[in-house]
């Protein structure tokens, strides 16, 4: 299963055995059967404590509390009557208990859904110790109760209680308490509790336990409007936000009231299936499912923090007889799980929802969840928590890392591969294992993805994952993916994207979640400002073309690029001072240093433009970390693949033929080179030398030369020097050397020929020496020679030079004035002289 379930609480395991008097009551007798049948969960509070109720042997109704931290059960209160408990809540100090119940009438079945058939009483009870009782409401409609929970470091001078009525209003009661005689707690204002009207005329409401927020929907001008009220530890409450919803509600849905997270019934109507999920990073999503028709299920997710919604239509098989198609929405923070038992499981990415390839769509066996029942009695609670109301089991839910890896390895669809890859690299807190497994998969199947490059996605996503936790304000300024667009459809699913209205804030002084949400909305309002590597391509090509131009090198801009590149490479040398398996970081690659410096300069400009409040030192550090970690990620791929192919402490030897593992490593490095060229990101120093040496060992000569001619293999000074030194001048080796040397530029040859003890290199050295002396001689004699003096006045110890000078003097007599129109080309004269010198000397 893709989702991993853990049992956080089980009524039978954690409560029932203790209620049976430590085992003195056998589970088979009438008393134990009655307790087992009536035992159910009523409420889960913010701190995880669970309120449950059961009926005792004499018809008493008990309310208990289970503490998951201490694994301890306690009885909070006992009613000496048979009651239908609708809702319970206890304050953080565990001094006050609010209870709403229906008095049981003769003939009522306790297992039927609760119906407002008799008078509903809502009580406020002092339970520390058990003392006074106050009636808050006595009405015919059902009432839910919910204590507010302040932060753990702040204690209310008074407790605050929400009353949610099915008459479509919500009130807040303020209860001031006083401690007497050490531990005795009494309600001070028991006569008339002050109260506020929080909301009214709503058709749907949801309580957010963690954020202490109330979301509710009202109908205004015939259109639904979502509002949110925030409760604070140190003040009352404020209505912070409202947003119009682009959903159509039927008359039935308008008449019915739906309450979420205000208590648990064993069966709930699936009409008006709406949920709101707020993430810690400032994401706000509204999920809504329509009644299914025929073989289609339709649901919509409005990404309110991004300003658009996606409506999915899913084609499903015929469900089992009598099974309602109730879609379950579950908050997993980074993802929203959408589950239809026996049909599909979708994981919708809430942080990067724009492309479908970042969402996981599973059907059949892949979507099977054996833990959950097929009937709709499962409810989402806190983030990553589900409650099975029928069995009384509370589950913790998370994405299974091993299952996700299997999905990545076995999937044949690029959309699933990319979604799984993205999830593995960005979802889990400790991604060390995920990164190693993804690199293993890339090594095995690097060429199997047709619509995206897995190495590029690994580099960009992993780099995003490493930088963002340290600098959350960069989440919208740095790229999270290498995929610019995605137009490939998902079989069995259609998706429509609609632009929706952005939420409107009604308060200016906001913090925490609301500040993050507001920042994200400001980002949506204006043009996107994400840094993209590919925008550097044109500047990089221009910079390379200017490398040999002295006046360009002397510019301040170019010197700035070189200094930034030097800073990053120096930082890498310090970071990688320990012994590495892969022999990189052992030479200087001037072109790669230029690219490193260019990225640094452009990234710092980008951050300065969009984060003007950050100091220069902070921006410099962020840019340095970003580029350094990028290079280290490339090395991480090399290290992982190197160990995978058991190359060990491989030395720089070009003698002999490469093994199969070396060829596999060469293939991985070739794919890395292609990926980095496509992204326009630099390679670590020494990468191209290692790549070329593996190519020389593993490739046939014609393939090697083809790779060199097409730029796949970049010849480096270190590699060519080792080639000329390490290999003897036997037939095949000499052919290899000649093939390499003829492809080198002249400036390159001047550096590497002294390392080759061969007549060809000696000839080249002699020719270069002649050229150098000739240039010097020509400069000295220019303007001093006259037409009558054609004898050689300077004799040198180097005989080819004497012959060449004499020949040039003779040729000069046969040409006209060099400043006239048809003069002899100087380059032609030089080439002719050098060629004849070679022939006469037999070189």
The pLDDT value given to residue 218: 94
Cα 15 from Cα 52, distance rounded (Å): 9
pLDDT, residue 294, reads: 72
Confidence grade of residue 792 (pLDDT, cut at 50, 70, 90): very low
- Neighbour-count burial of 48, counting CB atoms closer than 10 A to its CB (0-12 exposed, 13-18 middle, 19+ buried): middle
* pLDDT given at position 729: 72
DSSP summary character for residue 15: I
Residues with Cβ < 8 Å from 41, sequence gap 6 or more? 11, 50, 51, 52, 264, 387, 389, 392, 394
For CA atoms 128, 129, 135, 139, the dihedral sign is: positive
pLDDT per position as a tens digit, 636-676 = 999 899 888 888 776 667 777 888 998 999 999 999 999 99
pLDDT band at 245 (very low <50, low <70, confident <90, very high): very high
pLDDT digits (tens, 9 = 90+) for 568-622: 888 876 655 555 778 776 677 777 888 888 899 889 988 898 888 889 999 999 9
d(CA 350, CA 344): 19
| pLDDT over 80 (residue 536) | no
Residue with the bigger pLDDT between 808 and 262: it is 262
Q: Give residue 538's pLDDT band: very low, low, confident or very high (50, 70, 90).
A: confident
User: What's the angle, vertex CA 751, arms to CA 747 and CA 753, rounded to 5?
Assistant: 105
| Rounded Cα–Cα distance for residues 93 and 106 (Å) | 37
Confidence of residue 197 (pLDDT cuts 50, 70, 90): very high
The answer to whether the Cα torsion of 136, 140, 144, 148 is positive or negative is negative
In this model, does residue 550 exceed pLDDT 60?
no
Which stretch of 135-144, 182-191, 225-234 has the lowest confidence by average pLDDT? 182-191
pLDDT in the model for residue 113: 46
- The answer to which of 149-153, 272-276, 401-405, 711-715 has the lowest mean pLDDT is 149-153
Q: What are residue 575's phi and psi, to 5 degrees?
A: -65, -35
pLDDT band (50, 70, 90) for residue 531: confident
* Per-chain mean pLDDT for the chain: 81
Residue 78 has pLDDT above 60, yes or no: yes
| pLDDT tens-digit readout, 511-528 | 889 988 988 888 777 656
CA 162 – CA 149 distance, rounded (Å): 11
User: Has residue 825 got a pLDDT over 50?
Assistant: no
Decide if 347 contacts 359 (C-beta within 8 A): yes
The CA-CA-CA angle for residues 340, 342, 343, to 5°, reads: 60
pLDDT in tens, 40-73: 899 999 888 999 999 887 888 999 999 988 888 9
Token digits of residue 86: 């609708």
Helix, strand or coil, per DSSP, at residue 134: strand
- DSSP percent split of the chain into helix, strand, coil, nearest 5: 35, 25, 35
- Angle value at C-alpha 640, between 636 and 643, nearest 5 degrees: 140
User: Do residues 500 and 301 make contact, with C-beta atoms less than 8 angstroms apart?
Assistant: no
Q: Other CB atoms closer than 10 Å to residue 579's CB: what's the count?
A: 6
Q: Which residues, other chains included, contact 586 with Cβ-Cβ below 8 Å and sequence gap of 6+?
A: 685, 686
pLDDT band at 685 (very low <50, low <70, confident <90, very high): confident
Contact between residue 90 and residue 96 where contact means Cβ atoms under 8 Å apart? yes
In Å, what is the CA distance from 823 to each residue of 252, 785, 816?
A: 99, 18, 6
Among the listed ranges 374-383, 462-471, 679-688, 834-843, which one has the minimum average pLDDT value? 834-843
Q: Of the ranges 97-111, 338-352, 369-383, which one carries the lowest mean pLDDT score?
A: 97-111
Give me the percent of the chain exceeding a pLDDT of 70.
78
CA distance 824 to 814: 10
Q: How far is CA 341 from the centre of its chain?
A: 28
420: enclosing H helix or E strand: helix 414-426
Residue carrying the six token digits 């070009």: 654
Looking at the DSSP bridge assignments, the partners of residue 43 are 51
Domain residue ranges in the chain: 533-714, 761-841
Question: CA 256, CA 467: separation in Å to the nearest integer?
Answer: 47
Confidence of residue 553 (pLDDT cuts 50, 70, 90): low
Q: What angle do CA 342, 347, 349 make, to 5 degrees?
A: 165
Lowest mean pLDDT among 315-319, 338-342, 587-591, 756-760: 756-760
Q: How confident is the model at residue 339 (pLDDT cuts 50, 70, 90)?
A: very high
Is 624:600 a contact under the CB 8 Å cutoff?
yes
Distance CA 802, CA 779 (A): 16
Position 798 scores a pLDDT of: 55
pLDDT(82) > 80: yes
Within 271-372, strands assigned E span 273-278, 284-289, 296-303, 308-315, 328-331, 335-340, 344-349, 360-363
Phi, psi dihedral angles at 814 (to 5 degrees) = -95, 0
Whole-Å CA distances, 637 to 435, 481, 724? 9, 18, 30
Residue 274: in which H helix or E strand, if any?
strand 273-278
Question: Is it the case that residue 496 has pLDDT exceeding 80?
Answer: yes
């Amino acid at each position: 299963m893709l989702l991993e379930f853990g049992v956080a609480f089980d009524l039978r395991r954690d409560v029932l055995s203790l209620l049976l008097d430590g085992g003195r009551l056998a589970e088979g007798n009438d008393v134990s059967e009655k307790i087992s049948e009536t035992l159910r969960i009523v409420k889960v509070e913010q701190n995880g404590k669970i309120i449950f109720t059961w009926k005792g042997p004499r018809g008493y109704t008990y309310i208990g509390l289970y503490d998951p931290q201490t694994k301890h059960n306690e009885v909070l209160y006992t009613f000496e009557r048979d009651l239908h408990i609708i809702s319970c809540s206890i304050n953080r100090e565990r001094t006050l208990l609010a209870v709403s119940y229906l008095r049981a009438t003769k003939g009522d079945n306790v297992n039927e859904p609760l119906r407002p058939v008799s008078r509903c009483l809502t009580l406020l009870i002092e339970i520390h110790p058990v003392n006074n009782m106050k009636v808050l409401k006595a009405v015919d409609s059902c009432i839910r109760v919910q204590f507010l929970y302040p932060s753990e470091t702040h204690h209310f001078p008074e407790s605050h209680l929400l009353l949610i009525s099915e008459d479509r209003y919500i009130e807040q009661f303020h209860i001031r308490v006083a401690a007497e005689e050490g531990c005795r707690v009494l309600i001070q204002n028991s006569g008339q509790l002050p109260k506020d009207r929080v909301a009214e005329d709503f058709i749907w409401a949801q309580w957010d336990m963690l954020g202490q927020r109330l979301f509710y929907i009202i109908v205004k001008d015939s259109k639904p409007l979502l509002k949110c009220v925030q409760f604070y530890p140190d003040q009352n409450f404020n209505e912070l936000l409202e947003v119009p919803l682009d959903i159509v509600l039927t008359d039935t849905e308008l008449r019915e009231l739906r309450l979420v997270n205000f208590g648990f019934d064993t069966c709930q109507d699936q009409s008006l299936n709406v949920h709101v999920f707020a993430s810690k990073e400032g994401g706000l999503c509204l999920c809504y499912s329509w009644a299914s028709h025929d073989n289609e299920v339709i649901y919509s997710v409005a990404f309110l923090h991004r300003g658009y919604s996606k409506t999915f239509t899913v084609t499903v098989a015929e469900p089992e007889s009598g099974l309602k198609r109730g879609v379950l929405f579950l908050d997993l923070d980074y993802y929203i799980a959408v589950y239809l038992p026996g049909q599909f499981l979708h994981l919708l990415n809430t942080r990067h929802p724009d492309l479908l390839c970042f969402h996981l769509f599973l059907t059949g066996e892949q979507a099977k969840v054996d833990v959950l029942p097929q009937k709709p009695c499962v409810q989402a609670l806190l983030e990553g928590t589900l409650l099975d109301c029928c069995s009384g089991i509370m589950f913790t839910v998370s994405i299974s890392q091993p299952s996700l890896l299997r999905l990545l390895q076995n999937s044949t669809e690029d959309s699933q591969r990319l979604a799984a890859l993205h999830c593995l690299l960005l979802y889990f807190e400790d991604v060390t294992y995920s990164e190693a497994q993804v690199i293993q998969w890339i090594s095995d199947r690097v060429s199997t993805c047709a619509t995206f490059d897995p190495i590029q996605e690994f580099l960009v996503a992993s780099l995003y994952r490493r930088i963002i936790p340290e600098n959350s304000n960069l989440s919208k300024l740095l790229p999270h993916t290498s995929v610019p667009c995605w137009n490939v459809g998902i079989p069995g699913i259609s998706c429509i994207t609609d632009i929706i209205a952005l939420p409107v804030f009604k308060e200016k002084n906001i913090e925490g979640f609301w500040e993050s949400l507001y920042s994200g909305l400001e980002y949506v309002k204006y043009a996107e400002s994400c840094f993209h590597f590919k925008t550097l391509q044109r500047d990089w090509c221009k910079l390379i073309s200017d490398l040999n131009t002295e006046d360009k090198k002397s510019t301040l801009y170019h010197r700035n690029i070189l200094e930034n590149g030097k800073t990053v490479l120096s930082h890498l040398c310090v970071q990688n001072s320990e012994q590495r398996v892969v022999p990189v970081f052992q030479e200087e690659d001037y072109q790669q240093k230029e690219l490193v410096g260019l990225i640094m300069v452009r990234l710092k400009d980008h951050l300065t433009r969009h984060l003007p409040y950050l100091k220069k030192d902070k921006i410099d550090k962020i840019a340095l970390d970003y580029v350094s970690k990028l290079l280290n990620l490339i090395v991480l791929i090399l290290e992982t693949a190197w160990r995978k192919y058991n190359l060990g402490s491989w030395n720089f030897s070009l003698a002999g033929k490469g093994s199969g593992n070396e060829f596999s490593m060469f293939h991985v490095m070739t794919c890395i080179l292609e990926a980095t060229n496509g992204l326009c990101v630099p390679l670590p120093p020494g990468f191209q030398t290692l790549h070329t040496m593996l190519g020389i060992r593993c490739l046939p000569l014609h393939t090697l030369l083809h790779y060199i001619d097409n730029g796949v293999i970049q010849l480096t000074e270190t590699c060519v020097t080792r080639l000329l030194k390490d290999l003897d001048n036997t037939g095949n080796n000499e052919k290899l050397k000649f093939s390499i040397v003829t492809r080198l530029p002249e400036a390159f040859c001047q550096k590497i020929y002294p390392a080759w003890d061969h007549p060809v290199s000696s000839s080249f050295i002699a020719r270069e020496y002649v050229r150098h002396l000739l240039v010097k001689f020509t400069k000295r004699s220019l303007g001093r020679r006259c037409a009558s003096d054609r004898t050689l006045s300077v004799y040198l110890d180097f005989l080819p030079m004497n012959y060449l000078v004499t020949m040039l003097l003779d040729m000069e007599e046969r040409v006209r004035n060099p400043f006239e129109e048809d003069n002899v080309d100087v380059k032609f004269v030089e080439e002719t002289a050098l060629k004849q010198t070679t022939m006469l000397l037999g070189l």
